[in-house]
Amino acid sequence: MLWSDPRDEPSPEARRMQEKLRRAGPVLAALALVMAVLLML
């Protein structure tokens, strides 16, 4: 690897998408839990 090669960093768009997914994870898990409880009733 040459010193002039760009560092292996995600683009700003990719970073934003990762942040959205990180925030949506717990919300989706809670939704799945609620759906599972409702299906058992």
pLDDT at 1: 54
In a domain, 34, yes or no: yes
Cα(10)–Cα(16) distance, integer angstroms: 10
pLDDT at position 34 is 97
| Structure tokens given for 20 | 């959205």
Residue 40 lies in a domain: yes
* Residue range(s) defining the domain that contains residue 21: 15-41
- SS percent in the chain: helix, strand, coil, step 5: 70, 0, 30
Q: Is residue 24 part of a domain?
A: yes
Side-chain half-sphere of 31: how many Cα atoms within 13 Å? 5
Total structural domains within the chain: 1
Residue 1, in any domain of the structure: no
**22 within a domain of the structure (yes/no):** yes
- Residue 1 in tokens: 């690897």
Q: Please check whether residue 27 lies inside any domain of the structure.
A: yes
Residue 8 belongs to some domain of the structure: no
- Return mean pLDDT, the chain: 88
- Distance CA(41)–CA(3), nearest Å, equals 61
* pLDDT at residue 6, as a whole number: 66
More confident residue, 3 or 33: 33
